[in-house]
Every structure is written in C-alpha cells, then in structure tokens.
Structure 1
Amino acid sequence: MSFEKDRTVRELFRAATHQDMTKRLRTAEDFERYGKIRKETHARIQAENQAFAREYDERMNEARQAVLRERTGYRLEHPSPPGMPHVSDTTALDKMADARVHRDHDARIDAIYKDETDQLNALREAIRERDAPTQAAKRAFGQSYERKGPTREN
C-alpha cells in the first residue's frame, strides 16, 4: 500500500472513531473528557509541526550525519553497484536525509494519534462499563427468563 493510501485509510479510521465516540457520549463529564482529549491532541500536533518547521535544518544536519555514518560503515574492496548513490553525491545524501527527517516526523505524528486512539478507547470502555447493566439485573433477568409459565394442553 502506498504511503498516501495508508495515510488516507488512517484518516478515515480516525474520522470514523470520532463519529462513533460522539454517538456514545451521554454525560457532561463524557463530553468534557472527549473535548480534553481532542484539544490535547490538536495542541501536540501543532507543537510537533512547529518544532519540525523550526528545527528542520538541525534535523537535516543530524540526518545527514547519520546517513554518512551508515553509508561509510560499509567499506568493501570492490566498487559500489551501478545506480547506487555514492556518499560524495550531495544531492543523493540530501534526499536520503530529507526522507529520514520526514519519516521521523510522520512517526511522531502517528504516535500522537495512537495516543489519542488509546485515550478514546479507554473513554469508550469507561462509558460501556458505566452503561452496562449490573450483575444483579442480569441475574434477575436470567431467573425470570428461566421460569416457565403454565402450558396449555390439548
């Protein structure tokens, strides 16, 4: 699955999760907790995007150094295969570093959304437990269901 399709599926799943959650919310406390989760996630996403824009050059330098360390660690006695970028090729190095920086940024964003999903699942479970019938009610229903009334005989 391509990166864009994968991202689209995740966004659709997240939208469906939020739609399902809004149907389950019953009390003011539920709405408040849901709103707090959404605001916190939004704030964390904004902070990460701002940090990404602010620290992009620094992250690129670190990624270049990491790529250089990885690439120069493999010293073989024969030349590189054709088509493989050389370490001295700065455009190839910049492309690899840029891909790494964006991949790390996307991983941080995905981790934030995973935290949000975990919090929403905890809220959903709390709502389900609160709204579930008690064991006494289940037992009473089970006893009343098992009783057999008078039967008509022909």
Structure 2
Amino acid sequence: MACARPDDVVVHEPTPATGRTVDTTIRANTALEGAPNDVSFTGTGSFRLHNVHSGKVLDNPGASRTDGQPMDQWADTDSPNQWWKLVPAGTGGHFNLVNGSSGLCLDVEAASTEDGARIVQMPADGAAGQEWVIVGL
C-alpha cells in the first residue's frame, strides 16, 4: 500500500468480535461541510476508502448497478466503482456515501443494528441506515 499522505484521514475502529482494531484511511479530495476541522479535502469531490491492514479499497464489485449488491474490498484500480462522494444527509454532520459508478448509497442491509450486518448499495431513501458520520479521534 502507498504511504499515507498529509491529507489522509485514518479511522481506527475496534472490532467487538475479535478485539482487534481495523484502521481505514480516507484518501480524499473534496471539501466536507460538517466534517471535523482537521479534515481538509480539495478537488473533484471523490475519494477512495483504503483499509490500512489489507491495503485494499472499498469496492463496488464489477461496477454493479444492482440494488442490494454487497460491497467488498479490492486492489486499488482508481476506477469509478472505487470512488465515493460524501453527500450531506439529515443533520449533525451526517452523510450518504454515494458510489462513483452506480450512484447508489452505502446502506446497512435491512437497517440492521447487529454486528456483522452486510453493507450493500441501495437507492437513496432518507433512512438512517444510509447515514454515516466521520468521528474524530
């Protein structure tokens, strides 16, 4: 994986099932209204989510346009199916993550609150299962 850049944001998330921490790097080039002050993005408005452990990125497999398609990780090909935009949603700095190739939103399948719930893509519907927030450390 490429070395972190000064404008990267690394998110450390504990995994309850294993007790391990997963580090995810947000490599971005957009400006985010409502994001923490230490996040400064410029450019086209798209970014890729790099997993620090695997070095792979969040990927929409095969540039699918299918509702309910699960997302996965894949080698970074810098293609639109690996590009994401943060679109303001709701209040309090909440965002939808919209895929660059499908235009669909990341969604917690069936609005589950359970550990291990699948993350899929669905059309924007205003539901809380599609709202994400960047949490500063």
Between Structure 1 and Structure 2, which shows a larger proportion of strand residues?
2
User: Is TM-score (shorter-chain normalized) higher than 0.5?
Assistant: no
Provide the TM-score with structure 2 as the length reference: 0.18
Between Structure 1 and Structure 2, which shows a larger proportion of helix residues?
1
Structure number with higher relative contact order (C-alpha < 8 Å, ≥ 6 residues apart):
1
- Who wins on radius of gyration, i.e. which is larger? 1
Provide the TM-score with structure 1 as the length reference: 0.16
